[in-house]
Amino acid sequence: MDAVGREMAMSKKIRLATAWLAGCSGCHMSLLDLHEELIGLFDAVELVFSPLADVKEFPAEVDITLVEGAVANLDNLELAEIIRSNSRLVISFGDCAVTGNVTSLRNQIPVEDLLSAVYREGAASLPGSGDAEGIVPKLLPRVLPLHQVVKVDAYLPGCPPSPQRISAAINALLAGELPKLPPDMRTFG
Amino acid sequence: MPVITLTVDGELVSARHGQSLLEVLRDLGADLPTLCQCPGLSVQGGCRLCLVEISGTNKLLPACTTEAAEGMAVTTGSERLQEYRRMVVELLLAERNHTCAVCVSNGNCELQALAANLGVDHVRFSYQYPVMSMDLSHERFGLDHNRCVLCLRCQRVCDEVEGAHTWDVMARGGMSRVITDMRRPWGESSTCTGCGKCVQICPTGALFDKGMSVSEMEKERGFLERILAGRSRHQSKGQGHGRSRKGNGDE
Ligand code: SF4
Ligand code: SF4
Ligand code: SF4
Ligand code: FES
């Protein structure tokens, strides 16, 4: 890993964050599928925020943030904005962030009808009402791809992106370049 | 057959009189993106992916509907053209509901491949999320309007090759839909022979064999060429006189 070597020589670790908005966590699972490559990666980066690390607040001065998931509710929206203002590079990580994907399948249905079908007419109580007030974030009228909410610097499509795609993208980023994946590594789906 | 000479991306090339620009480019082995065009079917000129620049006119012209002419100077891959082609694909993806990850054609789809080849790694337009139905009334095939790009290959293959003319298109713009038998359910069609040609020719997951799950629908890309080659052999032996207008079980 050339880029990693170079960064190590510079002896300043890249501050990497990964975030999980409205997605299934499959993209993070695929990240873990980098296996032993992760060891080399952590020589070059410091993981400053991630669902895989126990950090509560999104920190300042992050170099690169990989964002899994679409923007579906007020919490996602708030975190997306914090991520953007605190990160030098924001990468849409996987199809939900890039296109809305499966998360956006609900967009044909008005939110109130959706909540009625799932909760009011179902067994559970309605998020954001009664006991759940203030605990479950309010849904946005429509699920949005990340780049329709904040500026995004690069896109890593795939559901989930394969470890090969993730590796190629991360290596480019560590080398100080925006990833430019070949056609067979940038398909949706 | 008279031969003409034209310039393609700065190179002098010769072509046969009457050829379309797309045929000339294909003969040269050029990799021009197309979606509605399909060898063996009439030209549609609908998708605008094959747009080229022709010197002397500021208009971009589709290579599939433009006849090659003596002295023409054609540009096929300028940054401007690539940008328009990307926009075409992005508009197609934004216009209906393309959720590749859960689509029958995931991994085997011409639209998905076009997007990747052209470098469309995100869509800059607002997704429309139209409410679209499916027609699952046919015994063996399904139609999912969510994935249709209105290329009308189904309409042409059914009319021109199968001779059944089951398909048409209704309404305009964003309301356009492919329909069977004057908008009756496909399964009740009195014209459909059940040959499956429309399913095989459809570039996306809009037409599929029933029972297919995510990524399972693989279309047989060469089937039309095979059928048409078989037909011309047949005709040259003096057996088939003209093209039958009814399904004749050549699949
Ligand atoms: S038809 Fe093609 S582009 Fe559309 S969802 Fe299916 S695989 Fe994706
Ligand atoms: S199955 Fe054959 S006859 Fe029926 S609609 Fe498709 S092409 Fe036409
Ligand atoms: S159903 Fe398929 S072949 Fe027919 S117009 Fe739609 S995308 Fe094209
Ligand atoms: S291929 Fe020429 S317009 Fe569609």
**Hey, where are the domains in chain B?**
3-77, 83-225
Quick check: CB of B195 below 6 Å from ligand 2?
A: yes
**Domain A3-104+140-177 in CATH: superfamily?**
NADH:ubiquinone oxidoreductase-like, 20kDa subunit (3.40.50.700)
Interchain pair A157, B97: CB under 8 A: no
Low-confidence ranges of chain A (pLDDT < 70): 1-11, 127-133
* pTM of this structure: 0.92
Q: Hey, how many other C-beta atoms are within 10 angstroms of the C-beta on B198?
A: 26
Identify the pLDDT of residue B232.
84
Query: Cα separation of B114 and B64, whole Å?
Result: 17
Low-confidence ranges of chain B (pLDDT < 70): 236-251
Query: Cα separation of B111 and B117, whole Å?
Result: 10
Burial B105-143 (b: 16+ CB within 10 A, else e): bbebbbbbbbbbbbebbbbeeebebeeeeebeebeebbb
ipTM over 0.95? The verdict is no
Identify the pLDDT of residue A131.
59
Does the domain at B83-225 match CATH 3.30.1200.10? Answer given as no
**Hey, where are the domains in chain A?**
3-104+140-177
Within 8 A of A108 by CB-CB distance, chain B residues are: 97, 129-131
Within 8 A of A155 by CB-CB distance, chain B residues are: 121-122
Cβ contact B60:B51 at 8 Å = yes
B37, B59, B91, B153: which to mutate for ligand 4, most atoms within 8 A of CB?
Answer: B37
Q: How far is B110 from chain A (nearest CA, A)?
A: 11
Query: Cα separation of B62 and B240, whole Å?
Result: 35
Cβ contact B63:B51 at 8 Å = yes
Which architecture characterizes domain B3-77 according to CATH? Roll (3.10)
